[in-house]
Each structure stands twice: as C-alpha cells, then as structure tokens.
Structure 1
Amino acid sequence: MYSGPKVTLEQVLDNRERRANRQREWAEAHSLPLISFTINMVGEVKLNQISRTAFSQGYQAIVQACSTHNIEMVSLEKYSSDCGAELLISAGNIEPDALKRVMVEIEDTHSLGRLFDIDILDSQCVSLSRDTYGLPRRKCFVCGNEAKICARSRAHPLPALIDKMSEMINDCN
C-alpha cells in the first residue's frame, strides 16, 4: 500500500511552489474562491495506494458537497506528480467563508477526512484558516491531540503513521 516513487524534500518544496503559482494564476484568471485539495501523506513516498484511494474519496466528497450546496464548479483540474495528486476548483456563487465551512465539514466528518487537506483561498489568493473562523484545529489521526503539535515534535514513528493510514483506507473500503 505504501510503495511508490520516493521524493526528496526539495521536490516537495518545488511542488508546493508550483501549486502556489497555479493558485495565483487561477485567482487572477477567475476572480473566484478556490478549493485546493491534496492528501496529507507522510514519509518520502507521496504517490501510493493510500494516497490514491484517499484522493479519490476526497474528490468524490468535494464534488458531492458542491452539488449538495449548489456551488458552481466554474473550472476544475486535477494534477498528479510523484509528490501526489492535487485538485483545483474555482467555485462560483458562494462566499469564501461559507465555502470554507462546507469543506471543513468534509474534513471533520468523512471517514478519511483527516487525510484530506482542503484549502480555501479567496479571490485574492489568501488562504482562509480554521483559526480565523473559530473552527477547531485538526486532530492527530493516531492519538487525537492537535495534529500540528504531533507533526512538529514527530510524536509518532513513520511506520505507526503509515499503519494507521492503511487501517483507515481498509476500514473505508
């Protein structure tokens, strides 16, 4: 489940910069809020069966939520590289703060939501944070503590994280 091409930190950082450039280009081109979706994949293998399955589930959940909430998907594009899969959607007829709340609901309620990283950017390409809206911070999928604290302190060994992610994927199927 975890096999695939290994990537370096430099590749991940370069990919992050390419994503930020695409986001800026989309914000300029569409002048609409953006949904930017990736998978929180630990380790040096970012494109594998875990991330592919999680991305597919997240993509379906986002499209379904847009349909349910009558959010117009003005433009949609998927990208894939050794650094993982990505989705960009320009969202029409909804305010960025309302869009953020819809996407947080997916992250907080979907069985794989903790693996999802759904960012909302306003039409000026400014990322909207949970803190701005008084929304709860993301929880660690291993222990339930605040995810950023566990990540920074490397509280859990990589094999434990991968095992937990595999378990989540298996439970979802």
Structure 2
Amino acid sequence: MSKEMIFKGEAVTLADMLRAREDRSLRQGRLLTEFPNESLLCVTLNIPGPIKTSPALLEVFDNVIRAILEKLAGNQISYQLRLLPKTGYEYYLVTALDSQALKLKMIELEADLPIGRLMDLDVLVMSNQLPTPISRTALGFPPRSCYLCSKEAKACSRNRSHSVADMQAALAQLLQSFFEGDNQLS
C-alpha cells in the first residue's frame, strides 16, 4: 500500500486538532466522573501531518481495538465508544480492571504488536480534577521511543527533530509491512 493511499483523507487544521483535544479531555473527564471506581482507556493513533484518517488507517485502528478486546478478555467492560472524527479515530473503554494493571496490559500490547509505536493507549485517572494519563515511567518502563531514530518520542516531537514527510514515509513503510502480512494482530 502506497503512502498516498495511507494518507488519502481530509486534511485538518491546527484549530481542528485543538478543538478535538479539548473535546477528548472533556469526554474523558465525564467518563471518569460517571465511572469513578473503574479504569478508563483512551485509544488514538499517532499519525503525523494534517491527514489523520483514511480507509487504511481505519483498518489499522479497528485491528487495534480487536487486539485490546482480546487482551482484556475475561475482564468486565462497562462502557465502549468508538468515534471516527476527521481529527483522528478515538476509542474509549471503561473496565473494572485496576488502572495500573490496565496500563501494564497496554504496555505489553504496544510491545507485542508490529504497529505498537503508532498507538496511543492512554489509561487515565483523575488528578487535581483533571483526566491524567498514567505514564510508562511511573510504572518503571522507559519512555516511548521515536519510530525514526529510537530517541525519546516526546523529545523528538517537542524539538521537531524530523520532518512530517520523513515521519509519514516511516509510517507508510511500517504499515506496508503490516498490510503485506496477515495483518492480524493476535
């Protein structure tokens, strides 16, 4: 599958992304308030550039959801929501599983899957009345690495160490391998 096919979709603006981030935070806060004794998982994909959705990316996203549900088989799931905005796909899951245990399962999933670096599997808790993700480092794991240079991903993002074109090319290569395989994540 070509880079053009992966990134064939509607472009979004910075204003769109900021609005989506705010909406996501409000939704997370509502869910954490509605389910105060359960754990919240919020799933998105790390997609560089202005195009965040396409048929190929939706296929990847749906495979990720299936893998999560397989990983959580046997655990009570109280709520699920799958959203498909142009600003990037979102999936919310509330479970009775302890938040640290859920985060550990999601760290395992990221490590086990060939497309793990593309996934944001945030487990959130309320902290100072705000939805706050549990960090990998708080559980003794190293920060996520960049899929281009293997340095800390947040540092590369903050410093804009790589061009959007280079990041899209790396992502396209990763997804090409995924689609050429059996693209089953389990």
Quick one: which amino acid aligns to residue 17 of structure 1?
E
Q: Is the counterpart of residue 6 in structure 1 residue 11 in structure 2?
A: yes
Unaligned runs of 5+ in 2: 1-5, 180-186
Moved more, 125-134 or 79-88: 125-134
Indicate the RMSD between aligned Cα atoms, in angstroms. Answer: 1.4
Return the alpha-carbon distance in structure 2 between the equivalents of residues 88 and 162 of structure 1. Answer: 26
Shift of 1:121: 1.1
Deviations 1:11-46 (A, max 9, x none): 101101111111111111122110100000110111
SS at match of 1:126: strand
Moved more, 123-132 or 11-20: 123-132
SS at match of 2:84: strand
Of residues 80, 86, 99 in structure 1, which corresponds to 2:84? 80
Q: Is the counterpart of residue 114 in structure 1 residue 110 in structure 2?
A: no
The match for 1:96 is 99
Moved more, 142-151 or 35-44: 142-151
CA contact (8 A) 1:46 1:82 kept: yes
Return the alpha-carbon distance in structure 1 between the equivalents of residues 119 and 62 of structure 2. Answer: 11
Shift of 1:153: 1.8
TM superposition score normalised by structure 1: 0.92
CA contact (8 A) 1:72 1:91 kept: yes
The match for 1:71 is 75
Return the alpha-carbon distance in structure 2 between the equivalents of residues 73 and 171 of structure 1. Answer: 32
Identity of aligned residues (%): 27
Unaligned runs of 5+ in 1: none
Moved over 6 A (4+): none
